Structure 1
Amino acid sequence: MNLESPKVNVEKSSQDIFNFLSDIKNFEGLMPENISKFEVLENDKFLFALKGMPEIILKKKEVIPPNKIVLGAAGGKLDFSLVAEINETNENSSDVQLKFNGDFNPMMAMMIKGPIGKFIETLVTSIPKAI
Protein backbone atom coordinates (compact mmCIF):
# COMPACT_ATOMS: atom_id res chain seq x y z
CA MET A 1 0.00 0.00 0.00
CA ASN A 2 1.42 3.35 -1.04
CA LEU A 3 -0.05 6.66 0.11
CA GLU A 4 1.16 10.20 -0.60
CA SER A 5 0.39 13.36 1.30
CA PRO A 6 -0.30 16.58 -0.57
CA LYS A 7 2.83 18.64 -1.32
CA VAL A 8 3.17 21.54 1.08
CA ASN A 9 5.27 24.61 0.42
CA VAL A 10 7.39 25.78 3.35
CA GLU A 11 9.12 29.15 3.38
CA LYS A 12 12.45 27.63 4.41
CA SER A 13 15.46 26.18 2.62
CA SER A 14 15.59 22.43 2.08
CA GLN A 15 18.50 22.29 4.56
CA ASP A 16 16.44 24.03 7.29
CA ILE A 17 13.55 21.60 6.78
CA PHE A 18 15.92 18.63 6.64
CA ASN A 19 17.56 19.72 9.91
CA PHE A 20 14.15 20.13 11.55
CA LEU A 21 12.89 16.70 10.47
CA SER A 22 16.24 15.05 11.30
CA ASP A 23 15.67 15.88 14.98
CA ILE A 24 13.04 13.30 15.87
CA LYS A 25 11.98 15.28 18.95
CA ASN A 26 10.36 17.72 16.51
CA PHE A 27 7.86 15.09 15.35
CA GLU A 28 5.95 15.57 18.61
CA GLY A 29 4.91 19.04 17.42
CA LEU A 30 3.67 17.62 14.10
CA MET A 31 1.40 14.98 15.63
CA PRO A 32 -2.40 15.21 15.44
CA GLU A 33 -4.44 16.40 18.41
CA ASN A 34 -5.55 12.86 19.25
CA ILE A 35 -2.04 11.77 20.22
CA SER A 36 -2.04 9.89 23.52
CA LYS A 37 1.69 9.21 23.87
CA PHE A 38 5.00 10.45 22.45
CA GLU A 39 8.36 9.32 23.75
CA VAL A 40 11.90 9.64 22.36
CA LEU A 41 13.57 6.26 22.87
CA GLU A 42 16.97 7.00 21.29
CA ASN A 43 18.38 9.85 19.24
CA ASP A 44 17.01 8.18 16.08
CA LYS A 45 13.95 6.37 17.43
CA PHE A 46 10.60 7.42 18.91
CA LEU A 47 7.35 5.87 20.01
CA PHE A 48 3.92 7.36 19.57
CA ALA A 49 0.31 6.34 19.99
CA LEU A 50 -2.91 7.87 18.80
CA LYS A 51 -6.08 7.34 20.81
CA GLY A 52 -7.63 3.98 19.93
CA MET A 53 -4.53 2.78 18.03
CA PRO A 54 -1.58 0.61 19.11
CA GLU A 55 1.79 2.16 19.91
CA ILE A 56 4.09 2.58 16.92
CA ILE A 57 7.88 2.84 17.05
CA LEU A 58 9.62 4.66 14.20
CA LYS A 59 13.37 4.64 13.62
CA LYS A 60 15.42 6.74 11.24
CA LYS A 61 16.55 4.27 8.56
CA GLU A 62 18.09 6.47 5.87
CA VAL A 63 19.04 10.12 5.43
CA ILE A 64 20.07 11.83 2.21
CA PRO A 65 20.79 15.47 3.08
CA PRO A 66 19.06 17.76 2.38
CA ASN A 67 16.31 15.99 0.42
CA LYS A 68 15.17 12.76 2.02
CA ILE A 69 14.56 11.18 5.42
CA VAL A 70 13.25 7.64 5.73
CA LEU A 71 11.62 6.47 8.95
CA GLY A 72 10.72 2.81 9.29
CA ALA A 73 8.85 0.59 11.68
CA ALA A 74 11.11 -0.60 14.48
CA GLY A 75 9.61 -3.74 15.90
CA GLY A 76 5.99 -4.73 15.92
CA LYS A 77 4.07 -6.84 13.45
CA LEU A 78 3.74 -4.28 10.66
CA ASP A 79 6.50 -3.41 8.21
CA PHE A 80 6.22 0.07 6.71
CA SER A 81 8.17 3.22 5.99
CA LEU A 82 7.44 6.92 6.09
CA VAL A 83 9.53 8.95 3.64
CA ALA A 84 9.89 12.74 3.79
CA GLU A 85 10.89 14.19 0.42
CA ILE A 86 12.13 17.78 0.40
CA ASN A 87 12.58 19.67 -2.87
CA GLU A 88 13.92 23.20 -2.82
CA THR A 89 11.95 25.53 -5.11
CA ASN A 90 14.25 28.50 -4.45
CA GLU A 91 16.77 29.40 -1.73
CA ASN A 92 14.05 30.28 0.82
CA SER A 93 11.25 27.93 -0.19
CA SER A 94 10.82 24.18 -0.46
CA ASP A 95 8.10 21.63 -1.13
CA VAL A 96 7.67 18.78 1.33
CA GLN A 97 5.75 15.57 0.72
CA LEU A 98 5.35 12.48 2.91
CA LYS A 99 5.02 9.02 1.41
CA PHE A 100 3.82 5.98 3.32
CA ASN A 101 4.75 2.53 2.03
CA GLY A 102 3.59 -0.65 3.72
CA ASP A 103 3.05 -4.28 2.90
CA PHE A 104 -0.35 -5.23 4.28
CA ASN A 105 -2.96 -7.81 3.45
CA PRO A 106 -5.96 -6.38 1.55
CA MET A 107 -8.27 -6.37 4.60
CA MET A 108 -5.74 -4.52 6.77
CA ALA A 109 -4.96 -2.08 3.95
CA MET A 110 -8.64 -1.27 3.56
CA MET A 111 -9.02 -0.62 7.31
CA ILE A 112 -5.98 1.63 7.73
CA LYS A 113 -5.89 3.51 4.41
CA GLY A 114 -8.16 6.35 5.60
CA PRO A 115 -6.57 6.89 9.04
CA ILE A 116 -3.01 6.67 7.68
CA GLY A 117 -3.81 9.09 4.84
CA LYS A 118 -5.26 11.58 7.32
CA PHE A 119 -2.29 11.07 9.65
CA ILE A 120 0.39 11.84 7.03
CA GLU A 121 -1.64 14.81 5.79
CA THR A 122 -1.74 16.18 9.36
CA LEU A 123 2.03 15.70 9.74
CA VAL A 124 2.93 17.46 6.49
CA THR A 125 0.52 20.37 6.95
CA SER A 126 1.93 20.94 10.45
CA ILE A 127 5.50 21.43 9.18
CA PRO A 128 5.14 25.08 8.02
CA LYS A 129 3.65 26.08 11.40
CA ALA A 130 6.21 24.13 13.44
CA ILE A 131 9.44 25.35 11.85
Structure 2
Amino acid sequence: MHIETPKKTVEKSNEAVYTFLTDLKNFEKLMPESIDKFEILDDDTFLFALKGMPQIVLKRKEQVPFERIVLGAASEKLPFTLSAHISEIDANTSEVMLNFEGEFNAMMAMMIKNPITNFIGTLSENLKKI
Protein backbone atom coordinates (compact mmCIF):
# COMPACT_ATOMS: atom_id res chain seq x y z
CA MET A 1 0.00 0.00 0.00
CA HIS A 2 1.32 3.40 -0.97
CA ILE A 3 -0.12 6.67 0.36
CA GLU A 4 1.44 10.08 0.01
CA THR A 5 0.39 13.53 1.08
CA PRO A 6 0.44 16.54 -1.20
CA LYS A 7 3.56 18.66 -0.70
CA LYS A 8 3.15 21.16 2.12
CA THR A 9 4.99 24.44 2.18
CA VAL A 10 6.66 25.11 5.54
CA GLU A 11 8.01 28.56 6.41
CA LYS A 12 11.30 27.09 7.66
CA SER A 13 14.55 26.12 5.97
CA ASN A 14 15.01 22.49 4.98
CA GLU A 15 17.67 22.28 7.71
CA ALA A 16 15.22 23.55 10.36
CA VAL A 17 12.50 21.11 9.26
CA TYR A 18 14.98 18.22 9.22
CA THR A 19 16.29 19.14 12.69
CA PHE A 20 12.73 19.34 14.02
CA LEU A 21 11.81 15.91 12.61
CA THR A 22 14.99 14.16 13.76
CA ASP A 23 14.11 15.06 17.36
CA LEU A 24 11.46 12.36 17.77
CA LYS A 25 9.76 14.03 20.75
CA ASN A 26 8.59 16.70 18.28
CA PHE A 27 6.29 14.17 16.62
CA GLU A 28 3.96 14.62 19.58
CA LYS A 29 3.34 18.19 18.32
CA LEU A 30 2.30 16.82 14.93
CA MET A 31 -0.10 14.17 16.23
CA PRO A 32 -3.88 14.41 15.79
CA GLU A 33 -5.97 15.72 18.69
CA SER A 34 -7.21 12.15 19.24
CA ILE A 35 -3.81 11.10 20.59
CA ASP A 36 -4.18 8.95 23.67
CA LYS A 37 -0.53 8.16 24.43
CA PHE A 38 2.92 9.32 23.31
CA GLU A 39 6.16 8.03 24.79
CA ILE A 40 9.83 8.20 23.77
CA LEU A 41 11.38 4.75 24.25
CA ASP A 42 14.96 5.62 23.24
CA ASP A 43 16.83 8.02 20.93
CA ASP A 44 15.49 6.25 17.84
CA THR A 45 12.09 4.92 18.95
CA PHE A 46 8.75 6.22 20.13
CA LEU A 47 5.28 4.82 20.62
CA PHE A 48 1.91 6.44 20.23
CA ALA A 49 -1.72 5.46 20.39
CA LEU A 50 -4.76 7.21 19.06
CA LYS A 51 -8.08 6.80 20.88
CA GLY A 52 -9.61 3.45 20.01
CA MET A 53 -6.52 2.22 18.12
CA PRO A 54 -3.67 -0.11 19.15
CA GLN A 55 -0.29 1.31 20.11
CA ILE A 56 2.19 1.77 17.28
CA VAL A 57 5.94 1.79 17.83
CA LEU A 58 8.02 3.68 15.27
CA LYS A 59 11.78 3.39 14.95
CA ARG A 60 14.11 5.65 12.99
CA LYS A 61 15.37 3.59 10.04
CA GLU A 62 17.20 6.11 7.88
CA GLN A 63 18.02 9.79 7.64
CA VAL A 64 19.67 11.86 4.94
CA PRO A 65 20.59 15.31 6.27
CA PHE A 66 18.15 18.03 5.23
CA GLU A 67 16.39 15.73 2.70
CA ARG A 68 14.74 12.65 4.20
CA ILE A 69 13.79 10.92 7.43
CA VAL A 70 12.39 7.38 7.40
CA LEU A 71 10.56 5.85 10.35
CA GLY A 72 9.48 2.23 10.31
CA ALA A 73 7.31 -0.07 12.36
CA ALA A 74 9.31 -1.68 15.15
CA SER A 75 7.13 -4.79 14.84
CA GLU A 76 7.51 -7.18 11.92
CA LYS A 77 3.79 -8.08 12.18
CA LEU A 78 2.74 -4.93 10.32
CA PRO A 79 5.73 -3.88 8.21
CA PHE A 80 5.54 -0.29 7.02
CA THR A 81 7.57 2.90 6.72
CA LEU A 82 6.66 6.54 7.07
CA SER A 83 9.03 8.89 5.23
CA ALA A 84 9.32 12.66 5.23
CA HIS A 85 10.84 14.08 2.04
CA ILE A 86 12.10 17.66 2.46
CA SER A 87 12.88 19.96 -0.47
CA GLU A 88 14.39 23.41 -0.20
CA ILE A 89 12.45 26.17 -1.95
CA ASP A 90 14.64 29.00 -0.64
CA ALA A 91 16.66 29.82 2.49
CA ASN A 92 13.51 30.16 4.65
CA THR A 93 10.99 27.90 2.92
CA SER A 94 10.71 24.15 2.35
CA GLU A 95 8.28 21.65 0.91
CA VAL A 96 7.57 18.46 2.82
CA MET A 97 5.82 15.36 1.51
CA LEU A 98 4.95 12.41 3.73
CA ASN A 99 4.97 8.94 2.22
CA PHE A 100 3.54 5.73 3.75
CA GLU A 101 4.58 2.33 2.39
CA GLY A 102 3.24 -0.92 3.81
CA GLU A 103 2.86 -4.59 3.00
CA PHE A 104 -0.64 -5.71 3.97
CA ASN A 105 -3.10 -8.32 2.80
CA ALA A 106 -6.13 -7.01 0.90
CA MET A 107 -8.49 -7.18 3.88
CA MET A 108 -6.09 -5.35 6.21
CA ALA A 109 -5.32 -2.75 3.53
CA MET A 110 -9.02 -2.05 3.08
CA MET A 111 -9.51 -1.60 6.84
CA ILE A 112 -6.56 0.72 7.45
CA LYS A 113 -6.36 2.80 4.26
CA ASN A 114 -8.72 5.59 5.41
CA PRO A 115 -7.36 5.88 8.99
CA ILE A 116 -3.75 5.93 7.71
CA THR A 117 -4.59 8.49 5.01
CA ASN A 118 -6.27 10.72 7.61
CA PHE A 119 -3.39 10.25 10.06
CA ILE A 120 -0.59 11.22 7.68
CA GLY A 121 -2.78 14.03 6.34
CA THR A 122 -3.00 15.44 9.88
CA LEU A 123 0.76 15.08 10.39
CA SER A 124 1.32 16.93 7.13
CA GLU A 125 -1.11 19.74 8.01
CA ASN A 126 0.48 20.14 11.45
CA LEU A 127 3.91 20.66 9.88
CA LYS A 128 2.81 24.26 9.31
CA LYS A 129 2.91 24.75 13.11
CA ILE A 130 6.64 24.15 13.50
TM-score by length of 2: 0.98
Match of 1:40 in 2: 40
CA distance in 1, matches of 2:15, 2:103: 31
1:95 and 2:95 correspond: yes
Report SS of the residue matched to 2:19.
helix
Distance in 2 between residues matched to 1:76 and 1:55, nearest whole Å: 14
**Within 2, Cα distance between the matches of 1:107 and 1:92?**
43
Equivalences, count: 130
SS of the residue 1:128 aligns to:
helix
Output aligned runs, 1:74-93, within 5 Å: 74-75=74-75, 77-93=77-93
Aligned to 2:55: 55
Write the distance in 2 (CA, Å) between the matches of 1:75 and 1:114.
Answer: 21
Displacement of 1:76 in angstroms is: 5.3
Segments of structure 2 that go 5 or more residues without pairing to the other structure are none
* Aligned match of 2:6: 6
Structure 1 residues 19-38: aligned runs within 5 Å = 19-38=19-38
**Distance in 1 between residues matched to 2:6 and 2:116, nearest whole Å:** 13
Distance in 2 (alpha carbons) for counterparts of 1:119 and 1:60: 18
User: What CA RMSD, in Å, does the superposition of the two structures yield over aligned residues?
Assistant: 0.7
Alignment CA distance shift 1:76-1:54 (3 Å): farther
Distance 2:48 2:54 in 1: 9
Distance in 2 separating the partners of 1:16 and 1:33: 24
Bigger mean CA offset, 84-93 vs 70-79: 70-79
- Distance, in Å, in 1 between the alignment partners of 2:18 and 2:114 is 27
Q: Distance in 1 between matches of 2:41 and 2:128?
A: 25
Matched residue type, 1:20: F
Match of 1:108 in 2: 108
Counterparts of 1:101 and 1:113 in 2: how far apart (Å)?
11
